[in-house]
Amino acid sequence: MLVRCLAVWLLFSAVGAQAAVDRIALVTLGPGEEYWARFGHNALMVIEDDGRATTYNYGFFDFSQPNFLGRFLRGHMTYQLVAMPADQDLDYYRRQGRSVRVQWLNLNAEERASLAKDLAWQAEPENAEYRYDYFKANCSTKVRDALDKVLGGVIRQQLNGRSRGLSYRDEALRVGYHEEWMYYGMHFGLGIEADQVMSRWDEAYIPDRFAEAIPLIKRADGEPLIVGDEQWLPQLVESAPAGTPRFLFSAAAIGFGLAALILLFGRHRGLLGTLTRSVLGAIWLFSGLAGLLMIGLWAFTDHSAAWANRNLLLFSPLAPLLLATLPALARNQEIWKGWRWLALFHLTLGAVAIAAYFLPVQTRQDNLEWILLMVPVGFGVWRLMRRTSEIKHSVISKSS
């Protein structure tokens, strides 16, 4: 029995010796070329006394997991924490041309041991998965939370009271700018929740923002949390812009240009008239599909960032019904009163969208580009349908 106890003691002593931690660093990776890598990445690197370096990476997902697409569409994505040799992990980013910034953390021996133990436990296969959320639980916020836990909450305490006035949308559009479909898709699909003003704590969902913020942190004893900042690899892939690019002017130009086209040629019988009505039909069809998508995301998924999207006021699921007016417009005939009322209803919704944007309400959605694009089109459609009716009645009056 004594021998068995001694053997167990020796085993645990060996494990403890193996797990002795020399240093821990926050590792920030620059953006990659793939769309899922555009936001960049954060990880923790644990270096043991014997020189072995392990990165703990919360950014792994598996396309082959059961029902991956269905879970993604419903907002039930799961990511994993993976532990791997640091040289192997960092070589992957080197080959991708992504920068590596290493910030050494001022942790005492107890804190280093506690953090390393917690990370190793989380990386076990039965514990590795976590429910992913774009803004609240991703590769960067999980690192932030792990550090905040071992430091007794000082990171949250010091960053929650600071803000630069940025919203979740601002940062998402900034880092997604170089992928056009992602940039416009996020701006279109994000709802009111994405326009909350963030604290510096919230900004940590963007890896480079957390890397910028963490040097501001002081430990409970007043010492700085970061004691070394090193650039191990340069950024060779195009980085995100410093500010958030917007397209207000081009949205207004397209919106008013389409309105002018609709009013000038919407009831003409020539080539320009046919082209205008084709564009109009495409707008109505797209509006209907986009409206249904927004309702679906709100009603049937856990993508809370897409809920209560006020672009529903601009892209109506009822818009495809107006396709029935195209033959009458092509023949310059009077439009049925019901369709004119539907066009007026859409224009009224556009006015509500304008009011919701400009009135000093607490939950304003930042969708001015879409307002500038669609409200002029709505006005042009309503005026076109009224004009066909006015012309028809004018002709009848003259003949009588």
Amino acid 391: pLDDT: 53
Kindly state whether residues 228 and 252 are assigned to the same domain. Answer: no
Kindly state whether residues 70 and 212 are assigned to the same domain. Answer: yes
Last residue of a domain, which of 209, 233, 257?
233
**In a 10 Å sphere around its CB, with 0-12 CB exposed, 13-18 middle and 19+ buried, how is residue 262 labelled?**
buried
Kindly state whether residues 213 and 274 are assigned to the same domain. Answer: no
Amino acid 163: pLDDT: 94
- Low-confidence winner among 72-81, 85-94, 197-206 (lowest mean pLDDT): 72-81
223-258 exposure pattern, b = at least 16 Cβ within 10 A, e = fewer = eebbeeeeeebebebebbeeebeeeeeebbebbbeb
Q: How many CB atoms within 10 Å of residue 369?
A: 20
Q: What is the average pLDDT across 42-63?
A: 92
3-state SS track over 49-86: CCCCEEEEEEEECCCCCCCHHHHHHHCCCEEEEEEEEH
Q: What is the average pLDDT across 89-109?
A: 96
Q: Would you place residue 4 in the very low, low, confident or very high pLDDT band (cuts 50, 70, 90)?
A: very low
- Whether 243 shows a pLDDT value over 80: the answer reads yes
Kindly state whether residues 252 and 365 are assigned to the same domain. Answer: yes
Q: Would you place residue 248 in the very low, low, confident or very high pLDDT band (cuts 50, 70, 90)?
A: very high
Q: What is the average pLDDT across 30-54?
A: 94
Distances (CA, A) of 305 to 58, 195, 309: 21, 9, 9
Segments forming the whole domain that contains residue 45: 19-163+199-233
Give a yes or no: residue 13 inside a domain: no
Confirm if 105 and 226 have CB atoms less than 8 A apart: yes
Kindly state whether residues 272 and 384 are assigned to the same domain. Answer: yes
For residue 102, what are the contacts with CB-CB under 8 A and spacing of at least 6? 25, 26, 27, 45, 228, 229, 230, 231, 232
Kindly report the average pLDDT of the chain as a whole number. 90
Q: Which residues pair with 21 in a beta bridge?
A: 48
Q: Would you place residue 8 in the very low, low, confident or very high pLDDT band (cuts 50, 70, 90)?
A: very low
Kindly state whether residues 141 and 49 are assigned to the same domain. Answer: yes
Rounded to 5 degrees, φ, ψ at 68 are -55, -50
The count of domains in the chain is 2
CA dist., res. 345 & res. 334, Å (int): 19
Give a yes or no: residue 82 inside a domain: yes
CA dist., res. 381 & res. 383, Å (int): 6
Amino acid 27: pLDDT: 98
C-alpha closest to that of 20 among 120, 169, 126, 154: 120
Kindly state whether residues 271 and 378 are assigned to the same domain. Answer: yes
Give a yes or no: residue 128 inside a domain: yes
Kindly state whether residues 253 and 225 are assigned to the same domain. Answer: no
Give a yes or no: residue 6 inside a domain: no
pTM, 2 dp: 0.87
Q: End-to-end CA distance of the chain, in Å?
A: 117
CA dist., res. 263 & res. 325, Å (int): 15
Kindly state whether residues 82 and 152 are assigned to the same domain. Answer: yes
Kindly state whether residues 265 and 373 are assigned to the same domain. Answer: yes
Kindly state whether residues 316 and 372 are assigned to the same domain. Answer: yes
- Whether 150 shows a pLDDT value over 70: the answer reads yes
Q: What is the average pLDDT across 78-106?
A: 95
The single residue listed with the structure tokens 């958030």 is 244
CATH code assigned at 83 = 3.90.1720
- Low-confidence winner among 270-284, 323-337, 382-396 (lowest mean pLDDT): 382-396
- Whether 152 shows a pLDDT value over 50: the answer reads yes
